[in-house]
Amino acid sequence: MSKPSFREQMLRVREDAIVAAVNRLLAEKGYEAMTVDEVAAEVGIAKASLYKHFPSKEALAAAAMVKVLDRALAEVEALGTEAALAPIDRLRAAARWTMRMQLAGEMPTLPAQNSALRAALLADRGYLDRLLMLSEQLGGWIEAAQAAGEIDTALPAEVVLYTLFARACDPVLGMLQASGRHDDAQIVEWVLRTCFDGLATRG
């Protein structure tokens, strides 16, 4: 590996800024409502310059989604090294991380079933590879948690996995935050509780 030149570093920094802006806008308004003009304005460059870095709006969004998955994979890897955690507590910690991300305005919502973005992501090898890797990591924890009697064995691992992905975009977080009556930490704990313990009384 040769040391990257100054120009290459600048390029990388700029592209990171672009991806960060896209990520924020995706989280705020979703793919369809986000415009390339807004992205350019937020980064502070001309729209044409964006297209020198990314060939299309879809590629822009895909890069942001890949970055989110990379962050999630890093988080999961870090959780995996904490030997003291029970499998269900790893899952809980991962879910807590996604919820904090969402409240911070940095978690793009899942693409709707029939979105132009969805088609682009399904054709993106980098995205699919990371999604698969994350699914396998979490799937391993889910099976371990079920084997340890921590997760309901009446639920297929697939259902548990999808539920965790969906909770990363749970609109309940935003609704509670919008009400302005609660702080973020409290909101996260409530939603985590509904996710893992359910609405019904435990007894």
Return all residues near 117 (Cβ < 8 A) that are at least 6 apart: 31, 58, 61, 62, 111
To the nearest whole angstrom, how small is the minimum distance from the Cβ of residue 133 to DNA?
A: 28
> Is residue 35 at the binding interface for DNA, with CB under 7 A as the rule?
yes
Positions in 68-127 near a copy of itself (CB under 8 A): 88, 91, 109-110, 112-116
In the complex with a copy of itself, the residue whose CB is nearer, 63 or 188, is 188
C-alpha dihedral over 147, 148, 154, 158, to 10 degrees? -60
- 3-class DSSP string for 1-27: CCCCCHHHHHHHHHHHHHHHHHHHHHH
Under the criterion CB under 7 A, does residue 16 sit at the interface with DNA? Answer: no
Q: How far is the CB of 52 from a copy of itself (least distance, A)?
A: 27
DSSP 105: T
Whether 25 contacts 64, CB under 8 Å: no
Residues at the interface with a copy of itself (CB under 8 A): 28-30, 32-33, 88, 91, 109-110, 112-116, 149-156, 158-160, 162-166, 169-172, 174-176, 178-179, 190-191, 193-203
Residues at the interface with DNA (CB under 7 A): 7, 11, 14, 34-37, 44-49, 51-53, 55-58
